[in-house]
């Protein structure tokens, strides 16, 4: 197979291997990592969000995990939720 401008040959198995590598690590691996992280997060239990005057705090089992201050938020969307 002659493809290069100087007349040299391109090794076809390396081209195929590069394509397989791109598909596996560019398409399949990120999806697998995200789905595994989501399942792991869901298995840890429910989270609770508290909205107060300083911002939004996410807690799990009474321990605060994330706090987002109002001055650091530049865009947010309010979603209707049911009160229990």
Say whether both 62 and 78 belong to one domain: yes
Residue 10 has pLDDT above 90, yes or no: no
Length reported for the chain: 84
Q: Give kind and range of the element (H or E) at residue 63.
A: strand 63-69
Whether 27 shows a pLDDT value over 80: the answer reads yes
The answer on 21 and 53 residing in a single domain is: no
Count up the domains in the chain and report the number.
Answer: 2
- Containing domain of residue 58, as a range? 47-84
What does the block give as tokens for 40? 């792991």
The label of the residue with tokens 């229990």 reads 84
Q: Model confidence over 49-73: pLDDT tens digits?
A: 888 888 888 888 777 778 888 888 7
Both 24 and 62 in a single domain? no
Q: Are residues 34 and 14 in the same domain?
A: yes
Do 40 and 2 reside in the same domain of the chain?
Answer: yes
- CA torsion angle 21 24 25 30 (round to 10): 170
3-class DSSP state of 57 = strand
């Amino acid at each position: 197979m002659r493809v290069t401008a100087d007349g040299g040959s391109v090794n076809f198995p390396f081209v195929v291997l590069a394509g397989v590598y791109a598909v596996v690590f560019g398409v399949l691996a990120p999806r697998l990592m995200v789905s595994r992280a989501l399942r792991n997060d869901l298995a840890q239990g429910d989270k609770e969000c508290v909205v107060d005057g300083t911002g939004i705090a996410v807690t799990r089992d009474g321990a605060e995990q994330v706090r987002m201050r109002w001055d650091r938020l530049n865009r947010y969307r309010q979603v209707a939720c049911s009160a229990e």
